[in-house]
Amino acid sequence: MAYARVVTLIAVAISVERTDAIGRALDSARLAKSQGADLVEWRVDSLAQEPSGAGGIARLVQESPMPCIVTVRDESQGGAFSGSDDERQAAWSAASSAKPSAAYVDVELATIRSRSVLGDSVREMARIAGQSGMDAPRVILSFHDLAGRPSGLSSRVAEIWNEPVGTIAKVVWTARTARDNIEAFELLATRVKPTIALCMGEHGLMSRVLAPKFGGFLTYARSDEQGTAPGQPTTAELQSDWGFRSIDARTRIYGVLGSPVAHSRSPATHNGWFRQAKVNARLFAIEVAPSWESFKATLGELLAYAPLDFSGASITMPHKAHAIRFVQESGGVITGGARRIGAANTIARLSDGTLIADNTDAGAFVDALGETSGRETASRAMDGKRALVLGAGGAARAAAYGIANAGAKVVIVNRTADRATRIAAEFSKASGGSDLDVSASELAKLSGQHFDFIVNCTSVGMEGGPLPDGNPLPEGIVIDQRTAVLDAVYLPAQTPFLKYAKSRGARVVEGSQMFIAQARAQFAIWTGSPPSTAKQSR
């Protein structure tokens, strides 16, 4: 039997290690309350082991600016407590005897199962809390696994649900991939009592933010840079960046899928546009390992879990060719441009479940470069000009196709020369009754040549990439005031390539300009109209 949907609370987790840190901890809790937190979890693993720890815990509970959870987390469950049973019981007693008492005490299932004296203490605490009119903490019965998804997860959850001592069930594990979030959502959807089901780590953000969509009892936030578990957003981020309070069962979900993807501006940009347009949707950065198998499994599971309402994706490297294959194998529709390019950066899901693969990169490259010429239309700026495209991935294919289709002569260069040669051969075939002028070359053979447009579609110079300080262009290529250069990398804004080009007098186009152009087109595909402004992306 599914438990009735509840309003999901925000609990800010604050670790208090010593008695002299209590004042600062209370200040942090007051700030979190002003930012929208509903509860504070006092993590007192170390404090509980101090001689005056029980008194400090009592003070935290009594002076707490909002209802609180007291947690003494054992080392075996990822905490710092290694003290005695007496110290743990003293902490629980302090939480119970304070006036008013703590709202909850978080206790591990393993703790009450392994040591009978502690189990008896918790059962007595639960008995008192169950009496009408008694001011006593209720028990959050929990299980944690920092290493990954625990074996026998379903049976562990069933144990917690079936243990009468626990008013709230809690299960938390470290996500291996984004797919672990779906299992957390399934636990919430089938809960038999109020339940907290969350995934830790870089892959687990979706479970924390979308707890309201699936009726989670609460989600945890951090009050500072540290937090008490990997992956916790701040209270302010939950409210301002994710619109936590307005997430409900009807919220549609989108993702930007790539590797690496943590740096992506897509979540901030699209979520800002969703808010402005009053569209009930959220977009998440979803790290997907480079292989086709990982892409297929991840996107397949996101789409297959109907309650998630996964409605579309922005695709970034190295998965743009995978996007075409996925939609093709799913019996979906591939637009003419995406099919010709052989790469898609946008997937949309129609109301009848049909998938559409499109490519908004090609037009964005042409528009962003064309703006540097002052011509009446961006495409006219390309006619009869020479362009150099660096790279051979999905972005490079889109740039070469878009620029050549606008009338330029394109030379494509890649570290692996045969990949550039294959792209040139594909694009030089008849397209709409005419040939595209695309050829492949090696950088060494282009020394001394001038190009009107140069586009970097490699990851060289990308913050967090393999060569963040690198410049993909050798000095032999002629760059001067006649040249317009664009770097598809947008973090940092001024890449080594753009700095070099600017020093030679070239007109430079930052990757953010191209990013915004393609993102606006994506937003229109997903929602039916473009965003009215791009301010949120800056």
Active site residues: 144, 170, 320, 361
Those residues whose C-beta lies under 8 Å from the C-beta of residue 452, and which sit 6 or more positions away, are: 385, 386, 387, 408, 482, 483, 484
| Strand 138-145 to 168-174 pairing | parallel
| Helices (runs of H) and strands (runs of E) counted in the chain | 18, 22
Query: Contact, 279 vs 245, CB < 8 A?
Result: no
Query: Contact, 236 vs 214, CB < 8 A?
Result: no
Question: DSSP readout, 317-335?
Answer: TT-HHHHHHHHHHTT-EE-
Q: Give the E-state strand segments of 134-266 in sequence order.
A: 138-145, 168-174, 195-200, 218-222, 252-258
Alpha-carbon distance of 500 to 343, in angstroms, equals 30
Alpha-carbon distance of 236 to 245, in angstroms, equals 12
Q: What are phi and psi of 317, to 5 degrees?
A: -60, 145
User: Quick one: CA torsion of 436, 406, 519, 288, rounded to 10 degrees?
Assistant: 10
Q: Classify the phi-psi angles of 366: left when phi > 0, otherwise alpha if psi is within -120 to 50, otherwise beta.
A: alpha
Query: Contact, 351 vs 309, CB < 8 A?
Result: no
In the chain, the amino acid numbered 516 is I
Question: DSSP readout, 258-323?
Answer: ESS-TT-SHHHHHHHHHHHHT--EEEEEEE--SSHHHHHHHHHHHHH-GGG-EEEEEE-TT-HHHH
Provide the token pair at 70. 């007291």
Provide the token pair at 12. 């800010």
Alpha-carbon distance of 321 to 308, in angstroms, equals 25
State the sign of the Cα–Cα–Cα–Cα dihedral 527, 205, 5, 15: negative
Provide the token pair at 344. 């898609």
The 3-state secondary structure of 134-155, one letter per residue:
CCCCEEEEEEEECCCCCCCHHH
Q: State the Rg of the chain over Cα.
A: 28
Nearest residue to 287 (alpha-carbon basis) of 328, 317, 312: 317
Alpha-carbon distance of 466 to 448, in angstroms, equals 28
Alpha-carbon distance of 192 to 188, in angstroms, equals 9
